[in-house]
A = this chain, B = another copy of it.
Amino acid sequence: MRVNEKDYRTICLDKKNKYVSIIDQTQLPHKFVIEKLEHPNDFVRAIKDMHVRGAGLIGVTAAYGMYIASLKAPEENFDVYMKSIAQELKSTRPTAVNLAWAVDQQLEEIEKYNFIDSARNALLERANKICEEEVNSCKKIGINGLELITNLSEKKCKKEVNILTHCNAGWLAFVDYGSALSPIYLANKSGIDVHVWVDMTSPWNQGAKLTAWELQQEKVPYTIISDNTGGHLMQKRLVDMVIVGADRVTKKGDVVNKIGTYLKALSAKDNNIPFYVAFPSSTFDWKIENSNYIQIEKRSGEEVKYTQGIDEKGKITRVLLTPKESNALNYAFDITPARLITKLITEKGVFNANKKDILKIYPEHKND
């Protein structure tokens, strides 16, 4: 997608020089900084400290991390080394399923080969494949979701369609296009009159920082609101639809997504506003039936107590908001039960959030 009128992806392998370039998302929207990841630890740290974040992107980053690790791995201890890196990568962010999924795919590649060079090649190919599949999935999610926006626009006699989104499920959360924002970008390009309500998404403010920045770069009209505001806007009929992303989706259609999603789903339901969840199929967790068993990542309370922005001199500065001695709790995700979701949107189509309808689209997972 566009940054200062130029096309970018969030992640890019330099095959010749054997490093990966990412956008350091902790510095957005204030500074656009490209960061090099050269060592396996760079990948672990980049995911953990959220230089890259978003279900899709951390998966792809980990996949490339496994490839780069294979270049550094000692030949005599290749398997042990790779398994330990895999474990480290998986433990950085426990909730989004794409991360574990991508690392497991890479471990399967390693299993297949007896020669290290073949394994390295396979890791590279698989990482590229995961990356390209993700891009294609996001593109298709856009096409599938566009229909919903088009219909609403027709119903409103082409008056402005107001879409609320929570957190960032744009291209910054993936490699390109994004999930929740992909249909919005397409709608905007197709000349549909769209406007996005951007939830700030405290404490990390992914909405205020990343979604706002993305939409600004792509010239999509948007307005930032505090996380407290969406319900009131829905009561006032100022929201036509909600589209969010997902970090993990169960077979029954329960959605794990950024903390606060559940509250917006409740209020959409209370006001009879459609609530859509957009994600690539890799976000399904086919193994867990009961969403209560999913581990919800608890991050440092410091992320609640402190926030980062630029001061009047333009310097990126961290400020303490609360009394210094305060305790703070920082769950990163919550679970939106399927009963609150109007439709799920994946690259495979638009369908209801229940086991029967999900398995109709994904019959190969019937017995998982």
Contacts and interface: CB of A to CB of B under 8 A. Distances in A.
Given A202-B200, A304-B200, A318-B311, A227 B226 contact: yes
Nearest to A308: B319
Copy number in this complex? Answer: 2
Contact of A258 (B213, B228, B309): B228
A307 B304 contact: no
A231 to B, nearest CB: 4
A321 interface: yes
Nearest to A216: B323
A80 interface: no
Interface in A301-339: 301, 304-312, 317-323, 325-331, 333-335
B331 A212 contact: no
A259 interface: yes
A25 to B, nearest CB: 14
A186 interface: no
Nearest to A259: B228
A232 B212 CA distance: 25
A280 interface: no
Interface in A121-178: none
The list of the 10 closest CB pairs from A to B, nearest first, reads A228-B260, A309-B319, A232-B334, A224-B328, A29-B323, A266-B266, A228-B259, A263-B263, A309-B321, A223-B327
26 contacts: A30-B320, A200-B203, A200-B321, A201-B228, A202-B202, A202-B228, A208-B304, A209-B321, A224-B301, A225-B329, A226-B259, A229-B329, A232-B259, A232-B262, A232-B333, A232-B334, A233-B331, A235-B335, A263-B266, A306-B309, A307-B307, A309-B319, A310-B320, A311-B311, A311-B319, A317-B319
